[in-house]
Homo-oligomer: A and B are copies of this chain.
Amino acid sequence: MTVDATYPVEPWCLRETSLNLDVLAQSESLFALSNGHIGLRGNLDEGEPHGAPGTYLNSFFEIRPLPYAEAGFGYPEEGQTLVDVTNGKILRLMVDDEPFDVRYGELQHHERTLDFRAGTLTRSVRWRSPAGRLIDVTSTRLVSLAQRGVAAIEYVVEAVDEFTRVTIQSELVANEDQPETSEDPRAAALLERPLEPVSHDCDGGRAVLIHRTRQSELSMAAAMDHDVDVPGRVETHTECWDDLARTTVICGLRPGQKLRVVKYLAYGWSSLRSRPALHDQVAGALTGARYTSWQGLLDAQRAYLDNFWDNADVEVEGDPEIQQAVRFGLFHVLQASARAERRAIPGKGLTGTGYDGHAFWDTEGFVLPVLTYTHPHAAADALRWRATTLDLARARAAELDLAGASFPWRTIRGQECSAYWPAGTAAWHVNADIAVAFERYRVVTGDQSLEEDCGLEVLIETARLWVSLGHHDRHGRWHLDGVTGPDEYTAVVRDNVFTNLMAADNLRIAAAACGRHSERARALGVTTEETAAWRDAADAVHVPIDEGLGVHQQCEGFTTLREWDFDDNTSYPLLLHEPYVRLYPAQVIKQADLVLAMHWQSHAFTPEQKARNVDYYEPRMVRDSSLSASTQAVLCAEVGHLELAHDYAYEAALIDLRNLHDNTRDGLHMASLAGAWTALVAGFGGMRDDDGVLELDPHLPEQITRLRFRIRWRGLRVTVDANHGDVVYGLTPCDGSDGARLTIRHAGADLDLSSDEPTTVRLQERTPSLPEPKQPAGRRPQRRLR
């Protein structure tokens, strides 16, 4: 479904100019606000109609049983599900005696705007009630990036053409009815009313509701307070019960008169703190918010975002849709991570309950690279979260009879929640993805403290995992058997190239880190024999190649598997139409896997190999995962298929704005949104960092006339400003000093940059060595320009 008509192409906002109830759930995801701690879906102020109500607190989950008709040793018995917590977004409006509801009366004007620089969602409505009263409503909502526990809403009602009595009911609602999503009746039963009331109190326009979950035993508090501003008489009173607090504001408005209510919200949760402590926490946050005032919150929001965009913006000339989409994506990636602060960054951020609110390898693999270059402290926070789960990962490894630590495939809190091991536990690569993310952070930021504080231990324990998983054959080659790489249509295989190269990298990174921190490594039991074994395994890692075809094998034997009949199977995603028992042993690929290895382990492949591999794998990839298009963009750009790369970049960037996977209603695809940045910066900018130096090599597709981006590299800001003819590199020390220098690698050769003046380099035309590859029938990405 495309929604082009609904969302005009604009550079700095997402705007909806009419309300289409058929895509309401989708728009709720797109218009979600979050600071990484609190998440509010873009539900209408009055609560309904809705696609799915959604108010989330990062890592506030309930436990549910994972059922197995045939159980097996090591299968996790408990899952974790993000809970829809107390909804503080609700402001119901009575117009005379009729409730404002867009399904009734006449909606004469509707506009919602998500402003990427203001960090607000604004809604502007003109509505005529069934009885004929005409009103204007303007609401502005924010989840504060500056004050982690705070959200706020300014709600303004104006009588347009006659005297109108208006009543606003501003509420906190716990245990909202949810649309049915789970097919497991037990899960549904458990999560139907997930919040047990603990206490409620109210006083003046202020109310606090405290609840806790039954199984996970987490407590949460939600609080609200109000400023009311209206000419003339107004009455306000507040009541509360177990699951509801309500402040009612009633007044009469003459034409042109406005009632303005500012609703301040505060949220907090804890697994440890007492009810009084939690109560005081939200009361304090609320007081802080009122002290700051609505305007103060707006100002701080904009200041935070100004700083972010200053470091992160990507300018795309010639393709305004991608321009809008990459900013939309960066905005949401920031929202998902800014104040997550040692909590997970879920695959869908806090925009919906898709994937139960779980975090996957998406975080380290796709989201953190972007944050590392644009908002590094958020990357460090996310990595610190992983490190806090190290003991759980150690316990999981021990359960699986392995050394070191085995991080979960999917989780909220840190426990493995994957109920299907061939595409869960066997996807060991998540461990290397984490290790590589630590290393990237260190290399790119130059900040050694993260490694010292917690990274070293993660690197050591993941290295130990790999050594206990792998083995040398009698010819001395090192193998990883029974593993699943990124491609979930080819599972439990031998020597997945991606996994093998990432594991080898993990082993080398860990060995080098132990060299940097030898004392601490010794304290963790690491000997020189152990690090030598790590290096040996890494050096002996087997990388299967089909010599006859001259291509890498995604895994041992892949190129001799049965060819998939793409013409006979055209219903996508294939996993809903074909069994794994047929998909696994065929040459059909869900998502970039060998192709992803060529991005993340770029130095392990020659340019010729990359060209031939792209040529071989493109026709076998169906992109049934949202984690694929951005990587295909990067590699297609590298081997010279720039127009195809443009198509993939568009798909990655527009995945949610155009609902390309038909499930944006369940939440946004953070990895793909982050991937839009990657498609531009690593794809058309040619950025690589897997050799420890900053490599750049821009080449633009025809339609994009200019690409300008900035990245942070060890206390420096590097700006890249490319057009079809040349690229201008700029260098600015972040601390404002001058005289900085940096040697980067441009197009494979060293290039010295100086903060004294920009460096301009003439670009060579990039021509592919092979013709543009074809995709499976019906899976060609939408063409941008041809």
| Chain A interface residues (CB < 8 Å from chain B) | 66-75, 79, 183-184, 186, 399-402, 418-422, 425-426, 470-471, 473-474, 479, 481-483, 491-492, 494, 548, 556-557, 560-563, 569, 575-582, 584-586
Contacts and interface: CB of A to CB of B under 8 A. Distances in A.
A401 B67 contact: no
Contact of A400 (B79, B494, B581): B581
A329 B706 CA distance: 82
Given A471-B563, A560-B479, A562-B481, A581 B74 contact: yes
B420 A72 contact: yes
Contact of A183 (B71, B425, B576): B71
Nearest to A69: B419
A480 B230 CA distance: 77
Nearest to A556: B557
A492 B426 CA distance: 13
Contacts of A419: 68-70
A68 B71 contact: no
A73 B571 CA distance: 13
Nearest to A73: B579
Nearest to A72: B580
B474 A560 contact: yes
A422 B419 CA distance: 14
A422 B482 CA distance: 13
Given A494-B557, A585-B481, A562 B471 contact: yes
Contacts of A426: 581
What are the 9 closest A-B residue pairs judged by CB atoms, nearest first? A482-B585, A69-B419, A74-B579, A481-B585, A67-B67, A66-B69, A471-B562, A70-B420, A70-B419
B73 A576 contact: yes
A582 B400 contact: yes
A75 B420 CA distance: 13
Given A481-B585, A482-B585, A575 B79 contact: no
B401 A582 contact: yes
A654 to B, nearest CB: 28
A74 B576 CA distance: 9
Contacts of A75: 579
A482 B581 contact: yes
Contacts of A71: 183
A298 to B, nearest CB: 43
B578 A401 contact: yes
A79 B70 CA distance: 11
A494 B585 CA distance: 8
Contacts of A563: 471
A402 to B, nearest CB: 8
A473 B66 CA distance: 41
Given A474-B560, A584-B492, A422 B425 contact: no
Contacts of A186: 186
A577 B399 CA distance: 9
Contacts of A578: 73-74, 401
A184 B758 CA distance: 68
18 contacts: A66-B69, A67-B69, A68-B69, A69-B420, A70-B419, A70-B420, A73-B575, A73-B577, A74-B579, A74-B581, A399-B579, A402-B582, A422-B492, A425-B581, A473-B560, A482-B584, A483-B585, A494-B585
Contact of A579 (B184, B421, B548, B586): B421
A575 B586 CA distance: 28
A468 B13 CA distance: 53
A428 to B, nearest CB: 9
